[in-house]
């Protein structure tokens, strides 16, 4: 059985995980730990733990269908206007497990057992991280700190980094990356969910040193943080932060790609990758799980099956 590691965070990673978990693969999710918005932000503001939100989403996305009640419970958000308002139950459960286990990897594994996760869900680092970005402003730049603020700020991102810059990746994550047959990046928020995996020196080096084949799955629509960035621009940006990392396939289901694949194909070739264009849109914004699974499954079988 082939070993697949999927990198990302939030809804984008959930899309790839829902697709990959339908295939006969040994699946691992490596999740960003820089979220500071919403419930995760409120928790981070008072407790020194990893932000639980993206980890919870990965667990729910890979939950065993027979445990749907537990997955639905993890996703339930408290209503009202008290201190629990807006917090998903799964975030509270993960918070309790993170406080009970010295190793965050063990805490997330315990949560995975509750929902019957069909993947191993790992944080990219066992240290809570902060995203910082320089955005274009006039003839200069301004610096924005925090994942949420970067994601909603006006202006094009010129540079992005993690704090602390020398934070180590979790040992278990490095091991999974080294042993994988395939690495899958995206879809997801480009600067705050996908690229952060290439900003940790130890993780980027492990990715580059691995013999795994690598797939990039592009987004179907623009987000605030990538306003004005073409699909080819997404790949150019990825290449800038992926020193020493070779990619093999770029998967795009955007209607613009199907109509005019030339510029994106050129950008894919600059990564030494082959463009795979397919109709993957469920509603113009969200990837259709079955269609994405079919494309990824075909690549896994044809190249290394």
pLDDT tens by residue, 138-177: 888 999 999 999 999 988 999 999 999 999 999 999 999 9
Minimum mean pLDDT among 130-134, 135-139, 258-262: which range? 258-262
Q: How confident is the model at residue 7 (pLDDT cuts 50, 70, 90)?
A: very high
Map out the domains of the chain as residue ranges: 3-128+161-303, 130-160
Task: Compute the average pLDDT of residues 43-47.
Answer: 94
What are the φ and ψ backbone dihedral angles of 212, each rounded to 5 degrees? Answer: -65, 150
d(CA 164, CA 130): 7
Buried-exposed string 10-46: b where 16+ CB fall within 10 A, e elsewhere:
bbbbbbbbbbbbbbebebbbbbbbbbbbbbbebbbee
Q: How confident is the model at residue 260 (pLDDT cuts 50, 70, 90)?
A: low
d(CA 206, CA 226): 27
Instruction: Please report the pLDDT score of residue 45 as a whole number.
Output: 93
Angle between helices 10-20 and 53-61 (to 10 degrees): 20
Instruction: Please report the pLDDT score of residue 303 as a whole number.
Output: 77
Angle between helices 38-46 and 53-61 (to 10 degrees): 130
pTM of the model: 0.95
Q: Just give the CATH number of 3-128+161-303.
A: 3.40.50.10680
Instruction: Indicate whether 283 pLDDT > 90.
Output: no
């Amino acid at each position: 059985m082939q070993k697949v590691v999927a990198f990302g965070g939030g809804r984008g990673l959930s899309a790839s995980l829902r697709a990959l978990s339908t295939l006969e693969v040994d699946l691992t999710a490596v999740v960003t730990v820089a979220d500071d918005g919403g419930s995760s932000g409120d928790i981070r503001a008072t407790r020194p733990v990893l932000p639980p939100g993206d980890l919870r989403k990965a667990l729910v996305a890979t939950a065993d269908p027979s445990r749907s009640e537990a997955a639905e419970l993890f996703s339930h958000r408290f209503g009202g206007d008290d201190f629990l308002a807006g917090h998903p139950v799964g975030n509270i459960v993960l918070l309790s497990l993170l406080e009970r286990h010295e190793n965050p990897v063990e805490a997330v594994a315990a949560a995975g057992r509750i929902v019957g996760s069909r993947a191993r869900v790992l944080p990219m680092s066992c240290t809570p991280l902060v995203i910082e970005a320089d955005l274009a402003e006039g003839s200069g730049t301004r610096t924005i700190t925090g994942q949420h603020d970067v994601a909603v700020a006006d202006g094009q991102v010129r540079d992005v980094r993690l704090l602390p810059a020398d934070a180590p990746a979790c040992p278990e994550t490095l091991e999974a990356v080294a042993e994988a047959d395939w690495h899958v990046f995206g879809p997801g928020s480009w600067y705050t969910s996908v690229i952060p995996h290439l900003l940790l020196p130890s993780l980027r080096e492990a990715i580059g040193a691995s013999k795994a084949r690598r797939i990039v799955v592009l987004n179907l629509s623009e987000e605030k943080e990538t306003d004005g960035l073409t699909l080819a621009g997404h790949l150019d940006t990825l290449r800038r932060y992926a020193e020493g990392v070779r990619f093999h396939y770029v998967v795009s289901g955007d209607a613009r790609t199907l109509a005019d694949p030339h510029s994106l194909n050129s950008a894919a070739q600059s990564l030494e990758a082959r463009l795979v264009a397919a109709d993957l849109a469920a509603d113009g914004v969200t990837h259709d799980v079955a269609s994405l699974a079919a494309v990824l499954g075909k690549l896994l079988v044809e190249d290394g099956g």
